[in-house]
Structure 1
Amino acid sequence: MTRQPPSPARPAGPNRQERRRRIAAIQKAPDIAQRFAADMKVATGLHKQGRVREAADLYRRITKAYADHPEVRIAWSNLGAALQGLGRLDDAVHALKKARALRPDQPAPHHNLGMALLNRGDLSEAAESLERAATLDPGFADAWVGLGLVHQRTGNLPGAEEAWERALAARPDLVEPRFNLATLYARSGRREAALAAFRACLERQPRFPEATYAIGRLLEESGDFAGAAGQYLEALRLVPGVEAIHDQLGLALRALARSDAGKASALAEAWRTAFPQNATAARMAAALADGVSAPAEGAPADGGPAAPETGARAIPAPTVDAAPEATESRVPELLKEAVSAALPPAAGALSVLDAGCGDGLLAPWLKPYATTLVGVDTSPARIAGAGDRGLYDRLEARAPAEHLADAPAAYDLVVAGDLLPALGDVGPLFAAVAGALETGGVFAAATEALAGPTGVELLPSGRYAHSEAHLRTAAEAAGLAVSDLARETLRLDGGVPVDGFVLVARKRPR
């Protein structure tokens, strides 16, 4: 960056005057175009690195320092995209309206504003902006995709279908609108069309667990239990920690065993071999090998659960002019903030468990708290990745709940970054956490938020969303006192914020 725009003004009069003088000097400089381009390059570089707060701050300063520059719309547009990534939707709408006002003849500002309004729940205004973007450029696929999402949320499914078909006509390579159409076909009973569309998604994006799982559900509903089981196994290779898919696979194999016990046993053995740490797979393989057609422990009753309703994929990203979409998870940052608010400054004196540690993303900020830092995850490959960080004192490839059960009063702090979305009822885990915590010990976790007031729901991604009531009830029953339960944006899914909860609780004295 050749010269960064001035820092935000302080309240004092002389400093504000000096700021205005410097901004005026920048506007009159002969190399203003080069300065603007250089400063925007730095801001978009921060955005690409996932340093979204810093990028947003720099975008905002650029809008002030270069207020009269003909391309300042780009800074306003990218500021809106960054603010969406931070979950600040009101501020994002304000910035994007600024961008639209500067160039109302361009489709991208209308699209970006429409998506921010959609995220905020202003569906009528969102439809207006997205329709304007599509009118200005009928080949603007993202505008059609966004408009389809608006129609889907308002219950206008024919309108959603038409919009997503228009998106694919403009961009046949897009996967998300094709997945959304497949979902609509399945909902309306057009099973063959749905299967074809889901399979077309996999042709374009082979590592797509939602589509793989959806094909399995359709095959299971049609009575092809062997085909369904194969799809569930493939989905589990992509998302091995999602217990709901393990449960569904068990149900499919139990149904298959009634007509082809040998095939069911072979598939169960393949399941057990692929996932040797999974107790459900081990029980099912043993039962079928012994000629017993019984469900795995904890599996649903005969007939299984209804197929999880597959919702429209939340896409697309804001169409930023020079900055990328911010997509990485905010969970590590949010948990760090929550724990720092609940505990004294890190002093290396606590026994800490990273439950469901994955590749160890939480370890860099957990380590300063720990005299002993333990990481547990069901995936040996992820445990190996966590070990490469060199920050854990001990790592175990094991189910976190099993580890907790074997560690009474062993920990001062237990953190679960991405464990709860793999569970349905969190009650058993919370009870295990309470048993493993010292009195007064802290538990911090994140999970996706259920739209409804109560209950738990399996999402199309194979992840669970939990209601606030479910989390509070489970904590209370386990003897954990909730000290904070904040609703936050956990990440972006194709540019649309995914809401969730960040929970902090302490173990009550007995």
Structure 2
Amino acid sequence: MARQFSLSVSDAFAQAMRTWESGNATEARRLARLIADANPGFGGAHYLLGAIALSQGQARKASEHLSRAVAADPNQSVPRLALGRALEAQNSLNAAIVQYRAVLITEPDHAEAHARLAALLARTGKASQALDHGRHAIAVNPNHAEALCALGALLHQQGEDREARGYLERALALRPDWGVALHNYGLVLRRLGEAERAAALLSGAVDLRRDHAATRANLAGALREMGRLDEARIQAEQAAKLAPRDAVGWMELGLIRNAQGMPEGAAAAFERAVTAEPDSVDAHWCLAEARRLLGETAKATAHYRRCLELDPDDTHGAALGLALTGGAPVPQRAPDAYVRQLFDDYAETFDSALVNRLGYRAPALLAEALERDLVRKTGLAVLDAGCGTGLAAPVLRPLAGRLDGIDLSPAMVDKARARGLYDDLAVGELGAALTTRPATYDLIVAADVLVYFGDLEPVLHAGFAALRPGGIFAFTVERAEDCSSYLLGAKNRYAHAEDYVAAKAQVAGFALARMDHAVTRREAEAEVPGLVVILRRP
């Protein structure tokens, strides 16, 4: 009798499942309730009731039924996965993680559980674990679209956009009309400097997720980068309207208003961003900059100080802003974290922006000066100090028997390595690196690097020590007028007086071989006065 009753329950459950799969959720729910009422310990009925509730957006009710299904048979992965989804829908992320981990205890290679863990661990700030689970999911199932998308998003967050691109392309090949993947791919393309393609993808994502504020805000960002400011503002306004308590739309709206020459409107938008996210360093920094440009130094000072409280390493350069408002003395140099982040973010578009938009000529000017002072020497030990993406390498390589490069930005060093012109490349702070390389080089070149140093004495001493007798330290700086030493400009770059450069070179032990006036770049369509300096170690 027991076996006959069990088969009857199984048949009834199979009928209920077929009914649900055919699209008749109402009848399927009725059948599942009948089974559950007659057999309270049968987990299948509660699983079906939970799955139906979850599909209808009733996450709490789904959790109740799915918890009973899991209790009835803890080793079944399907109810646990569904319960995890229901808990995610209620934003109970840690509880969902527990369910997915439980699946892996019995099925260590369950691709779906690994994929869900990758997504949730990323959201809870555990990026390393998330990457491991994402890679495991794809190793088990190379065509798991959610795992591919999650891994692409994770790699983007880690700054590994070229690798992220491949995974997201694979995800979209499997699901071409997937709004989440289109959005993530658009973010990757923005970071890679492909604003036009990014805007096209993000537009598609907006069509699929019209009420998703972050997608509209990111579309606004791509349009802003293309100069399509009116279109960008419409999208940013929609993002802010959709999610007025979210900073992302207000931040983008502030940036667009700033680009449109609306400083008061920009400041108002950044105020809303700070209100929405009081601990956002980005929001406080943008608001501080906006207030400074409006001449509201007291308000700007308060927000710069808040940036430093939230981010003591100072990746935004708030200490420089604070000095510009008179809220603190001018630092002797720009913060390392600020310079590193600035150029990490700038790496993908650095060459085109610097050469095409800013008319950057520092390497060429240094090459001309060196040709005169080196008398066409070759086979030298050369250091490209602050090498960036390696723009100076083509003019230095013919002089070098050995060409080394060093830069504070890992992303810049990766770009320089791709040129294939250096014998060695290292990530590090210039002054510290020079002190570890005594009497190593015949030539040290720093093109547009010492603009991030105010006090030149420490770096000149370090450069002197790293040179062999007769070696040359060649560099460019911006030229300060009506100043006896150095000053900090509005773009967070230092400018130096000629007499100051000459005096500090002499203190370091150098002989001044040449100091020429030059224009190394433009800023806001205006030429920036500079100096090309050649120092020789006696």
TM-score, length of structure 2 as denominator length: 0.45
Higher relative contact order (CA 8 A, sep 6+): 1
Hey, which of these two has a bigger chunk of helix by percent? 2
TM-score, length of structure 1 as denominator length: 0.47
Q: Which has the larger radius of gyration?
A: 2
